[in-house]
Structure 1
Amino acid sequence: MTTDLLDIRRIYVEPEAAALPRGKEVLARFPDAQRVEVESHLRIPELYGDEANVARWVRIKREALVLGVKKSLTARPNGRSADFIAPSTANGCAMACAYCYVPRRKGYSNPVTVFANIDRIAGYVQRHVGRQGVKPAPNECDPVAWVYDIGENSDCSLDARISDNVRDLVETFRWLPTAKASFATKHVNRDLLSWDPQGRTRIRFSLMPQRDAKLLDIRTSPIAERIAAIDDFVAAGYEVHVNFSPVVVRDGWLADWAELLDQLDAGVDAATKDQLAAEVIFLTHNEKLHEVNLGWHPKAEEVLWRPDLQQLKRSQSGQWNVRYRTGDKGRHVAALTDLIAARTPYLRVRYAF
């Protein structure tokens, strides 16, 4: 299978994953790919932690695939975008957004890893939903349903080009009346339009001004294409929100966001506007990711790494993150949410930070 994003030539595979039905399906999709047996999808020295891979950042994403088994199944409480983070069916990505946090965990490369034990993952999710019962009160995630993010560490629209894992989860949630799936995406995959989610899956199309996307959203679907797809996904039975993330502060940023909001307003119909909501997330960047980016895309760091605008904060994992300075950030958030209210008054902001 060859697309603009994927030309899989080498598959690193755990023997246990290769023996499972989903693993066999994935291997069959790429019959010409070299297979490299690995003990663990987490320990592949030639992919992870090798500084020389910075020079091959995009090539590895395009040509390498990892097939493994998800060992630990947990649903972590979240509370902002979703009530829970579901156990992932994949991680990594063939796209190369300069601000993505996944490389911080994986080292110098993060091609897609597909987990073959989808039956165990879907079964765990069903049991977890059953234990929650009926949602007792509305919250910012959803007024009625428990929301499960199924794509925290990958882009589900792209994952669906590699395996049927995402489709299996969308179909699982179709029959769970107290819960819904959710994922953010920067990739338009119209194959999803035939899946009949019956309102039980929320897709959040990530949007930013085209000027930012051209520099930062590498190998993603164009912003205009994402907006043009929204009505079709609503008509196909998805709940569709927009994810304004990350918001990057630079010269002219607010004027460019005004232009994007006008583009969104003109690009969606009344049925979409009636159900549309947004989440707004300002940039948080990371010192180690900054160092990685300097090796393959230094131009992006001119807007992502701004010591004149940002302050350091140590993360729970001990790494140094940067975010816009306290006080200044509050004014930036207010300016953008005021702009949203003025340009797209129907667009409910679920949260902004």
Structure 2
Amino acid sequence: MTRSPLDIRHIYLEPGVENYARGREILARFPEAERTEVPSHWNIPGLHGNAGLVKDWVRIKRQVLVLGVRKTFTLRENGRSADWIAPGLANGCALACAYCYVPRRKGFANPITTFVNIEDAVKALRRHAEKLGPKTEPNQVDPHLWVYDIGENSDLSVDAMLSDNVRDLVALYRTLPNAKASFATKYVNRELLEYDPQGKTRIRFSLMPRPIARVLDVRTSPIRERIAAINDFVEAGYEVHLNFSPVVIYEGWTADYTELLREVRDSLSDKARVQLAAEVIFLTHNAALHEVNLGWHPKAEKLLWRPAWQENKRSEYGGENIRYRHGFKGKAVARFTELLARELPECRVRYAF
């Protein structure tokens, strides 16, 4: 079993956090933690934007927690992982995956920020789903229900160790007749098996070959543990999909993915097999994150930063990122989907890019 990634010793909190029951509950979980009140969870002097903290990247993730009150609850259309991206009740992560896009926005420190106004989030999400009404046309996301990604900027399996926010969201979607929740995770938290999702939450276990997971998926559950959890989560009432993200290209990558897919194939129960699907997302990197990683984990950049294979890309939100070159990537995507069809033919590919 993976050791807990959390050892909270310092909590930064916005004014008003203690006015919410969830805020008081979280603070009560960590009575020995030092507390510092800050004007905003987005601007903490000495934490965000402090280049000197990059050497403490992992320690900060393990020991620091930020509590805030979410002000807006805007939903975004998606069409890939979900129909809608829900406003998250957390951002940042105690895990330390070297390719994660979330720290690009903060710089040099990326602990979990948890929002305590769960009631406001539940009301906004319920109102949105009720306004949508039934899903009348099937799509690759889901043939029958509107799917909401509730964990875009954090790992909810870890967030659930801090509060009941995740349990409350699973309970919400259990009651919505036209919608289901979805989130990707790299951490096996078996307490989630008790949440009784009744088929209304899709959990996407992220997988990559062990040789590179040991380098890139820092502080996550081992790949073997994630694969072993699939059957148990299906039995507990979750829809379980696979999330091959990011797919990283390196010498020998197809042989390693072949071994991974065969391990998944050999471990699946019949019940897990018939409901299986996957999303495939090749690596997108970023020059700023490259610089951060060089400060704490340069070994990862030998896999992630391959200029001969990569080109600049402007993201849909206006940022400058790095992706595999157009023709090179197209051939790699085709190769991966061929591997998946050969080694795990029962696994439907929802999308690949």
Three-state SS of the structure 2 residue aligned to 1:244 is strand
Q: Cα offset for 1:18?
A: 1.8
Aligned residues: 351
Q: Distance in 1 between the 2:76 and 2:174 partners?
A: 21
Q: Distance in 2 between the 1:316 and 1:278 partners?
A: 23
Aligned partner letter, 2:252: G
Using the TM superposition, name which of 199-208 and 322-331 deviates more. 322-331
Partner of residue 290, structure 2: 290
Partner of residue 214, structure 1: 214
Q: Distance in 1 between the 2:197 and 2:230 partners?
A: 15
Q: Distance in 2 between the 1:19 and 1:47 partners?
A: 25
Q: Distance in 2 between the 1:287 and 1:136 partners?
A: 42
Q: Cα offset for 1:15?
A: 2.2
Aligned partner letter, 1:180: K
Q: Which residues of 2 match residues 1-353 of structure 1 at below 5 A?
A: 4-353=4-353
Q: Distance in 2 between the 1:134 and 1:272 partners?
A: 27
Is the contact between residue 10 and residue 35 of structure 1 (CA under 8 Å) also seen in structure 2?
yes
Q: Cα offset for 1:320?
A: 2.5
Q: Distance in 2 between the 1:314 and 1:77 partners?
A: 19
Is the contact between residue 18 and residue 67 of structure 1 (CA under 8 Å) also seen in structure 2?
no
Q: Distance in 1 between the 2:317 and 2:203 partners?
A: 29
Aligned partner letter, 1:250: Y
Q: Distance in 1 between the 2:150 and 2:315 partners?
A: 24
Runs of 4+ with >2 A deviation:
314-320
Q: Distance in 2 between the 1:45 and 1:302 partners?
A: 32
Q: Distance in 1 between the 2:103 and 2:240 partners?
A: 28
Q: Cα offset for 1:314?
A: 2.8
Indicate the percent of aligned positions where both proteins have the same amino acid: 63
Aligned partner letter, 1:264: V
Q: Distance in 2 between the 1:318 and 1:178 partners?
A: 33
Q: Distance in 2 between the 1:176 and 1:150 partners?
A: 14
Q: Distance in 2 between the 1:59 and 1:135 partners?
A: 45
Q: Unaligned regions of 5+ residues in structure 2, if any?
A: none
Q: Distance in 2 between the 1:278 and 1:240 partners?
A: 9
Q: Distance in 1 between the 2:27 and 2:125 partners?
A: 25
Aligned partner letter, 1:340: L
Give a deviation string over 1:259-280, Cα, whole Å, max 9, x none.
0000000111111000000000
Q: Cα offset for 1:14?
A: 1.2
Using the TM superposition, name which of 126-135 and 9-18 deviates more. 9-18
Three-state SS of the structure 2 residue aligned to 1:346 is coil
Q: Cα offset for 1:317?
A: 4.8
Change (3 A) 1:201 1:316: closer
Q: Distance in 1 between the 2:318 and 2:15 partners?
A: 34
Q: Unaligned regions of 5+ residues in structure 1, if any?
A: none
Three-state SS of the structure 1 residue aligned to 2:351 is strand
CA RMSD of aligned residues (A): 0.8
Change (3 A) 1:248 1:116: same
Q: Distance in 1 between the 2:58 and 2:331 partners?
A: 36
Is the contact between residue 287 and residue 319 of structure 1 (CA under 8 Å) also seen in structure 2?
no
Three-state SS of the structure 1 residue aligned to 2:219 is coil
Three-state SS of the structure 1 residue aligned to 2:242 is strand
Is the contact between residue 203 and residue 239 of structure 1 (CA under 8 Å) also seen in structure 2?
yes
Aligned partner letter, 1:283: L
